[in-house]
């Protein structure tokens, strides 16, 4: 079932990013978006939407989910740049600035971020229903100054420095947690959920976001470059403080398990329609990359 949803996400992304003039910038945007991620964020949005009983005939939820994936991809492209993490590989393929060039990679990131808002806000009917606008606002907030962007800013500032637990928590909650929270909230908002349910989805997003980051930190010291498609021990190499380096592998693993369980328990409260969301959250606990 998730394979079907991933296929739909990939097809919609390919359609939205079909190259027109000037082709090179579309090629660079498409190259990074179609490089084959897990589609975690759009899947969470679609599953949250289903969980609250969202209308199956609404075509805009899929577009919004794809817009979120574009925002995620822009952040990866810019994070990989020489002035940032200076990574040559991403998902086992050359990073955008390696495949194209640095100027194109900067513009491809800018393009994906801007296009995401165009895709989310476009309404051919001219009705501009409030729920879509509110979802786009939450995405702006949580990908920006109350989420991903400030998390990344503190992460960049902290490189090579010993940071405390509070700072690491800020980075994780915002850098990784921001978009995951946004995915679940936006799915609920567009699906027509009430405020209490949106709040519950936000809390699930907080658990999943932190769990996801802890797992990333664990995999960086327990997996292989072949499986991950990117270098392992990169945090150590970059002298990065991580959940594992701060709390040890054992506590990281038990906290990960506790957060995952907490998220699933909350999702179960949403009832029968949330079963696919619960199943997906369970499948995440086994992920190896």
Which 3 state secondary structure label does DSSP give 93?
strand
Is 277 within 8 Å of 47 (Cβ atoms)?
A: yes
C-beta closer to its own copies: residue 155 or 207: 155
The nearest distance, CB 140 to its own copies, in angstroms, is 4
C-beta closer to its own copies: residue 143 or 245: 143
Query: How far are the Cα atoms of 17, 50, 63, 132 from residue 119, in angstroms, in the given order?
Result: 11, 21, 7, 11
The nearest distance, CB 244 to its own copies, in angstroms, is 23
d(CA 271, CA 156): 41
C-beta closer to its own copies: residue 79 or 207: 79
Burial classification of residue 269, based on how many CB atoms lie within 10 Å of its CB (0-12 exposed, 13-18 middle, 19 or more buried): exposed
d(CA 13, CA 34): 8
C-beta closer to its own copies: residue 180 or 252: 180
The nearest distance, CB 153 to its own copies, in angstroms, is 4
Two structure tokens written together for 67: 């817009």
The nearest distance, CB 85 to its own copies, in angstroms, is 9
C-beta closer to its own copies: residue 74 or 256: 74
The nearest distance, CB 228 to its own copies, in angstroms, is 24
What are the residues binding its own copies (CB under 8 A)? 21-22, 24-25, 74, 78, 81, 83-84, 101-104, 106-107, 109-111, 113-115, 117-118, 121-123, 126-128, 130, 132-134, 136-137, 140-141, 143-145, 149-150, 152-154, 156-157
Based on its alpha-carbon atoms, the radius of gyration of the chain, rounded to whole angstroms, reads 18
């Amino acid at each position: 079932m998730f394979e079907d949803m991933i296929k739909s996400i990939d097809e919609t992304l390919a359609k939205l990013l079909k190259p027109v003039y000037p082709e090179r910038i579309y090629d660079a945007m498409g190259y990074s978006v179609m490089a084959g991620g897990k589609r975690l964020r759009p899947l969470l949005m679609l599953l949250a939407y289903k969980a609250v009983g969202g209308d199956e005939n609404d075509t805009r939820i899929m577009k919004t989910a794809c817009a979120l994936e574009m925002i995620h991809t822009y952040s990866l492209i810019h994070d990989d740049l020489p002035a940032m993490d200076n990574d040559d590989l991403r998902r086992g393929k050359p990073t955008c600035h390696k495949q194209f060039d640095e100027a194109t990679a900067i513009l491809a990131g800018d393009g994906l971020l801007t296009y995401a808002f165009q895709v989310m806000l476009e309404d051919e009917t001219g009705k501009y229903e409030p729920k879509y606008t509110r979802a786009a606002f939450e995405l702006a907030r949580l990908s920006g100054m109350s989420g991903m962007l400030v998390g990344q800013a503190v992460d960049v500032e902290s490189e090579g420095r010993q940071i405390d637990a509070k700072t690491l928590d800020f980075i994780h909650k915002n850098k990784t947690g921001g978009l995951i929270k946004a995915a679940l909230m936006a799915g609920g908002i567009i699906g027509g959920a009430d405020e209490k349910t949106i709040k519950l989805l936000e809390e699930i997003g907080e658990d999943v976001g932190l769990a996801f980051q802890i797992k990333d930190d664990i995999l960086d010291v327990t997996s292989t470059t072949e499986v991950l498609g990117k270098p392992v021990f990169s945090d150590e190499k970059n002298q990065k403080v991580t959940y594992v380096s701060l709390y040890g592998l054992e506590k990281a693993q038990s906290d990960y398990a506790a957060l995952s369980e907490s998220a699933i328990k909350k999702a179960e409260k949403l009832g029968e329609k949330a079963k696919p969301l619960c199943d997906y959250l369970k499948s995440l606990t086994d992920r190896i990359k």
